[in-house]
Amino acid sequence: MQPSLDRLLRTSLRGFAPYKPGTSVDEVKRRYGFEHPVKLSQNENPLGTSPRALAAMQHIAALSDYDEDDHRTLKERLARPYVLDVGNVILGHGSNELVMLVFGAFVDPGDEVVLATPTFSLFRKDAQVVGGTTVEVPLRDGVHDLDAMLAAVTPKTKVVFVCDPNNPTGTRVAREALFAFAKALPSDVLLVIDQAYREYMDADGTDGVDVLRVRPATLVLRTASKIYGLASVRFGYGYASPQIVAWLDRVRLPFNVARPAAVAVLAALDDDDFIAASVANNERGMRQLGDAFARLGVHAYPSAANFVAVEVPVAAEDAYAALLERGVITRSGDGLGMPGRLRVTVGTPEENAAFLDAFEVLLATWRARPIEALT
C-alpha cells in the first residue's frame, strides 16, 4: 500500500476549496447544444477587445526573448494621468496576482485581514493560503459597512480590503464615507481599494488614487480585463507609495507580465473611442435591465459596475440552472455568498434582451410555485 501524502499539505489548506470560475460557452455548447449561448457570467466586455490593442499585438515579431521586467514605458503611461512617478506603479499577471502579493509581503499566520462579506472571494482564499485570519463584516443593504469595518480593526489587523465597486453586488461606497474611513484607519494598516470596475463608475464615485494622495498606506488595484476587453492576456496594475511598491516587488515573480499583455495594454489605454463606446453600451444596458426589473417587480442593487445582482424568488442555483438550459449563462449567487440572487453581466442590447425574455418567462413559473416548493 502506498503511504498517504496527506501530511505534506499545509495545515491552512486542508479543507480549502479551489476557485471555481463561471460556466464557459464551450461547456454550454456541449451540454445543451446551443450554437450561440449568451454569456453574462464573468463581467467581460460585450464589445470585445480594444481594436488598438489587437492591432498592436499584430506587430509583435517574436516571442523568443524575455521582455524587460520593469516595463518602464508602460509604468510611465499608467502614472501620467495622475502625475505620479513610475515608483508608484506595480504591475501584475492580472490584479489577482497583486492581491496575492499583498498577502505574501504583509500577512503572517495569525495576522488579521478585515473585509466585507460578500465580496471578491480571492481575498478570503488568499488569506487562508498564508494562514491569515479574516474578519468578515456583513454588507449593509448590499454596500460595505465602513463603520462596522472600522470597529473590526484591532492591533492584529494588517490589511483592510474595500472592493469598490463591490463584486458581487456592484455597489459602491459614498466618496465622503470612504475618505472618512481612510482617515480613521490606523496609519500602519494597509488599505487595499480594489477598483477592477473603476472605469464604469459614475462621476460621484471615488478614484482610489485620491485616497492614496492623502494616505500613503494605500494600494489601489486596477485591471485591463474588464473595460479594455483583455481578460485573456492577464494584466493588472496598482498604485501605491514607493515603499509599498518596493515591498510588493520583493515577492513578485520575475517577468510576471508577458510581452503580449504589455503591448496590448499600452495601446488600449489610448483607445478613447473604444472606452467611450464601452461605457455608453454599459449605461444603455443598465437602463434596459433596470427598467425591466422595475416592471417585473424584482430587486437589484444599484450598480456602479458592468453587472447587476438581481433577486430571484427561488434558490439562486435553481435560477441559474434554468437559465442555462435556455442558453443564457449567468452566475449563481450561492457560490458568491449572495444566496437568492443572480449576478448578471451587462451585455449588448441583444444579449440583454435574450436574458430578459428567458428571465421573464421563468419568473412567472417561479412565482406560481407553491410556497413549500420554494424552500
Note the pLDDT tens digit of each residue in 80-109: 999 999 999 999 999 999 999 999 999 999
pLDDT of residue 230: 98
Query: Which of these three, 229, 253, 268, is where a domain ends?
Result: 268
Across the range 320-345, mean pLDDT stands at 97
Cell of 12: 491552512
Task: Quote the number of domains for the chain.
Answer: 2
The residue among 279, 291, 309 whose CA lies nearest residue 197 is: 279
Query: Which of these three, 230, 250, 268, is where a domain ends?
Result: 268
Same domain? 263 vs 171: yes
Determine the structural domain holding residue 214 and report its residue range: 51-268
Query: Which of these three, 209, 235, 268, is where a domain ends?
Result: 268
Same domain? 218 vs 323: no
**Model confidence pLDDT, tens digit, residues 301-326:** 999 999 999 999 999 999 999 999 99
How far is the first Cα of the chain from the last one, in angstroms, to the nearest whole number? Answer: 46
Position 374 confidence tier, pLDDT thresholds 50, 70, 90? very low
DSSP 198-263: GGG--TTSPPHHHHHHH-SSEEEEEESSSTT--GGG--EEEE--HHHHHHHHHHSPTT-S-HHHHH
Distance between CA atoms of residues 116 and 150, nearest Å: 11
Same domain? 181 vs 112: yes
Same domain? 223 vs 364: no
Position 32 confidence tier, pLDDT thresholds 50, 70, 90? confident
